[in-house]
Structure 1
Amino acid sequence: MLPIRLDLDVSTQPDVTVVTLAGELDMTTCPYVTQATDTLALKGQTLALDLSALTHMDSSGLNMLLTLRNRARDEHGVLHLLGVPRQALRVLDLTGTRSLFTLRPRLTP
């Protein structure tokens, strides 16, 4: 069995939940992100995914982000992508999906 190549941290504040991802977002790691985000209430909330420490994202990662975006919209919530790295931006650009997401700079501690 291969080790998981993704660290995930969830921080909940009154108006926003931040999920910080570090490592690779791919077919192997997406189920862990889905499992963690499925438990979060999105109704009227902002969910921010901090991707600034992401080293790789493939089409599985993009599909997971699109699914999460649709879920947030369906539950009257908002999804923001924070600090999206160059490689992930390239995936969004190549697939024509960048405009579907709200991109923000990385949160500063």
Structure 2
Amino acid sequence: MNGGTAVYSTLDVDVRAHPQRTVVTVAGDLDMDTCPHLSETLEALTLDGQALALDLRAVTFMDSSALHLLLALRNRARATGGTLELIGLPHQAQRLLDLTGTRRLFTLQPCPTL
């Protein structure tokens, strides 16, 4: 997938490919119902050592399915020589990473200012 928007029941995903990185903007709930749809979108991306940035500032909820997806995506990015950045991680999602001891595994970036 080179770019575009996919809309699922409680999840919106927008992919923008840039020369040095791909930005995936996610809005809605990331849970056991929606993660397979996001995973499908992400699997279609060619990483080839590039940075992948997930803009999660509009995510309203994350469960363990989302954590599993993020860990798998991190491993995939690293296997291709790339990186994974999580942008604007909401408080609930930060708490999930803290409770599971996985926060240190991710590069967290604040929301960009306009």
Q: What is the TM-score with the length of structure 1 in the denominator? A: 0.94
Out of 70, 77, 82, the residue aligned to residue 77 of structure 1 is 82
For the pair 1:101 / 2:106, whether they are aligned, the reply is: yes
For the pair 1:55 / 2:60, whether they are aligned, the reply is: yes
CA offsets per residue over residues 74-105 of structure 1, 9 Å max, x none? 11111000000000000000000000000001
Q: Is the 8 A contact 1:4 1:28 kept in 2?
A: no
In structure 1, how many angstroms separate the alpha carbons of the residues matched to 2:64 and 2:103?
13
In structure 2, how many angstroms separate the alpha carbons of the residues matched to 1:108 and 1:32?
29
Q: Is the 8 A contact 1:50 1:82 kept in 2?
A: yes
Gaps of 5+ in 1: none
In structure 2, how many angstroms separate the alpha carbons of the residues matched to 1:80 and 1:43?
15
In structure 1, how many angstroms separate the alpha carbons of the residues matched to 2:112 and 2:31?
23
In structure 2, how many angstroms separate the alpha carbons of the residues matched to 1:59 and 1:31?
13
In structure 1, how many angstroms separate the alpha carbons of the residues matched to 2:92 and 2:19?
31
In structure 2, how many angstroms separate the alpha carbons of the residues matched to 1:63 and 1:7?
19
Gaps of 5+ in 2: 1-7
In structure 1, how many angstroms separate the alpha carbons of the residues matched to 2:14 and 2:113?
16
| TM-superposed deviation, 1:32 | 1.0
Q: What is the TM-score with the length of structure 2 in the denominator? A: 0.90
In structure 1, how many angstroms separate the alpha carbons of the residues matched to 2:46 and 2:30?
22
- Kindly report the root-mean-square deviation, in angstroms, between the aligned alpha carbons of the 2 structures: 1.1
Out of 2, 5, 16, the residue aligned to residue 10 of structure 2 is 5
Q: Which amino acid aligns with 1:90?
A: R
Looking at both structures, which has the greater relative contact order when contacts are Cα pairs under 8 Å and sequence separation is at least 6? Answer: 1
